[in-house]
Structure 1
Amino acid sequence: MIKALKRLAGKSAKPELVDCVRDEYGLMQVVDTATTRSLYFNTLVEQSRQFLHAPMTLGFEYQQSLFDRILAFAQDHAVSNTPKICMLGVGGGTLATHCHYALPAAPQTLVDIRESVFDLAHDYFGLPHTPLIQTKCQDAEAFVYEAAQNSDPAFDTVFDIWVVDLYDQHTMPDAFSEPGFLHQLAACVKPPGLVLFNLWCGNAKATAQVIEFWEQQGDFSVTSYPTVNTGNIVLAVQART
């Protein structure tokens, strides 16, 4: 893959393989250039990007849009800017890190099926080690189904904000755009709770299914925030009070 990156970026970029981990789901690679550090899942598609000389600048347009929606919700709805946040899909953990420094008292739960993702996020992308950021190595579908059964506020699976950014090395797995999963997720959201999706126009079927599902739910308002350059759509779904 390093050879392919060199061909795409040109000789001046000189990508360097920093670390390489293989698990039951495939290969994960951390690659540096002169200005960036990126995480790849065995393809040329970047899962995460960090600017080495500006680490607190989000690497992708859709991440900035997600971050803006989270901050707006915290300002409008959460007491003392401490919304409970759950992120399904972690990558390099850069969005979680930004949320931690912007909302330092807000507890976060990060869910990913790959244990090594958390190790790479901590070791190479600056994800803080703190009791306020809990990591759970679990299938996101199973986590949501369990949370839907434990909607009592006493349980630690009740969240004000859900962020769904679930992609493998190719696209969003089909399960996460199916009505069964989405119905369970809807059951987890209590007013004025917010669900944010990173959707990609390149996966037109899944994107359409997710949007159509939420538009049919009368208890939720739905707003789309298309990115300008990348074909991503941030979908904001908020439970009506």
Structure 2
Amino acid sequence: MAQHPYRRLRSAKPNLPEVGISEEGNIRSLHLGSATVQSSMNLDHPAELVLSYSRAMMGWLLFAEQTPRHITQIGLGGGSFARWIDAYLPDTRQTAVDINPQVISVARALFELPFEDGRFEIVEADGAQYIKIMRGSTDVVLVDGFDGEQIVDELVGEEFFRDCRRALSSDGIFVTNWWSGDKRYRMFVERLLDVFEGRVLELPAESHGNMAVMAFNTGPKEQNFDNLKKRAAKLNERYGLNFTRMLSDLKAANPNNGKQFYL
């Protein structure tokens, strides 16, 4: 398998991490300031969600009653979510917000992003500030904001969580990627529980200690495990992701009475 070493590209702004690119076989990856992989793309199947955390972050589909009209992504990275949503949720409009202009330019050049039109737009901005201008106008907020070493502080505060909740539609869902080994992890979860009034579920990724943490603006209409199992089977076929495993892991990781979640 051909492997091209990680190489750094000069950062556009001194206070932002350098963007790096590496390739191994048919997998191209984006890095921020270190050799840690932030985003990966299968060159043969660009829409595939290569990293397990990105697949876990689609677990919200188990609870979606209808296709979202609009999804906001905070953190573009290599555009994994943008490509997947474009391929599998073609009727959904999406906005990707990233603070780092070099990330945006590299993603546009090397990561086969969707065409930028009325269905997909990229905004160069601080996601924590941008979300403040939205009021009930997005159905899903996907947050994946690492600086190469840890989660960005501005994306784990109560103010940010409140702003995200205000940005969501009535049945909207907030989803974030956190590292369960971070000593602050439980504190982050407690803040989210407070802001979303206990309606929070934690979904462990298949590997590497990442957690996809979901918070619901209102309680999901479907919480019964038997019904969710049927829904998961249909989603498996439609999207090619293992929602059956996700549901099993959600059941193991979150309070429930054996029949449904406590949300």
CA distance in 2, matches of 1:181, 1:82: 22
| Change in 2 beyond 3 A, CA 1:167/1:19 | closer
CA distance in 2, matches of 1:178, 1:19: 31
| Change in 2 beyond 3 A, CA 1:62/1:172 | same
Matched, 1:134 2:121: yes
* Distance apart, 1:232 and its partner CA: 0.7
| Change in 2 beyond 3 A, CA 1:162/1:239 | same
- Return 179-188 or 12-21, whichever deviates more: 12-21
User: 1:52-91, aligned counterparts within 5 Å?
Assistant: 52-69=43-60, 71-73=61-63, 76-78=64-66, 81-91=67-77
- Count of aligned pairs between the two proteins: 216
Unaligned runs of 5+ in 2: 220-263
| Change in 2 beyond 3 A, CA 1:200/1:221 | same
Letter in 2 for 1:231: G
| Change in 2 beyond 3 A, CA 1:129/1:83 | same
* Distance apart, 1:203 and its partner CA: 2.1
Letter in 1 for 2:22: V
SS in 2 for 1:29: strand
CA distance in 1, matches of 2:152, 2:7: 28
| Change in 2 beyond 3 A, CA 1:175/1:44 | same
* Distance apart, 1:16 and its partner CA: 4.7
Picking from 149, 162, 166, the partner of 2:141 is 162
Number of the residue aligned with 1:20: 9
CA distance in 2, matches of 1:43, 1:62: 19
1:3-61 superposed Cα distances (whole Å, 9 cap, x missing partner): xxxxxxxxx65315688342111321222222311111120101111123333321211
Letter in 2 for 1:77: E
Deviating above 4 A after TM superposition, structure 1's stretches of 4 or more consecutive aligned residues are 16-19
| Change in 2 beyond 3 A, CA 1:218/1:14 | closer
SS in 1 for 2:108: helix
* Backbone CA RMSD of aligned residues: 2.1
User: 1:159-198, aligned counterparts within 5 Å?
Assistant: 159-198=138-177
Instruction: Quote the sequence identity (%).
Output: 21
Number of the residue aligned with 1:228: 206
